[in-house]
Structure 1
Amino acid sequence: MLDTLLGFMIANPATSHALTALPETAGIAAAMIGLRAPRPEATAALVVSTYYFGREAGQREHDIKHAGWDAVQAHLGAEFLYGWSLPNLQQWLAPTCTAWAIAAVLFLMRSRLTQTR
């Protein structure tokens, strides 16, 4: 069972990123709600999205440097999506969309709970 799950996650990185973004977003939002931070759901989604963007941009920057670009060009290219492949774009967008969907659900749940009180 575990081998099958790990095989699926390795074979489908965008899906696995989306599945891991789910508890990450919920956990960060729960911690921020407990700390009474403003806009905890949106902040959690932004943190998760930024994490995955940085992860994919770092990989692109590394690849661009090895293609012969200097460090500044490689950094700017990676930051502005130059040289990103479709799988890398999907591996950033899938968890980002999941994070914002979870944030919306948490926001709606919290707003409904506060209305009934």
Structure 2
Amino acid sequence: MNDKMKLIENLIKAKKIYDKYLLNKDFLYVFKNKLNNKFEFFEMKCVRSNFLHLTGVETKIKALDFYKNLEKNRIPLSAINYKRNGTTKLKLQIFDRLPLLISTPVQVCFQDDFFYIKIRS
């Protein structure tokens, strides 16, 4: 199978997961910051225009148009590419795990000036 056809196949699969578990939902994560001992929070809003970023696909198509076109099976192969840094494949590989962000305990971790979510298993 052509590499870009495989990319489209993975994008369709990822969109189904995103639509089923995350689309049009807001999630509020509340946690105690162990560095300053204060309670903090962040909100995750899942809208159609965020889907492209989560995939890591390189394209000139606008985010919302990308989502709508994928829904209609109208993404030209010439308009999409894997990012050279390898993040596209990495991001698409974890889409199966996205439902865990809302169904299992998660841990907020800090690294440098950023925080990330770690799924506890």
Q: Same fold (TM over 0.5)?
A: no
User: Does 1 or 2 have the higher relative contact order (CA < 8 Å, sep 6+)?
Assistant: 1
Task: Identify the structure with the greater helix proportion.
Answer: 1
TM-score, length of structure 2 as denominator length: 0.30
TM-score, length of structure 1 as denominator length: 0.31
Question: Which is higher, the Rg of structure 1 or of structure 2?
Answer: 1
Task: Identify the structure with the greater strand proportion.
Answer: 2
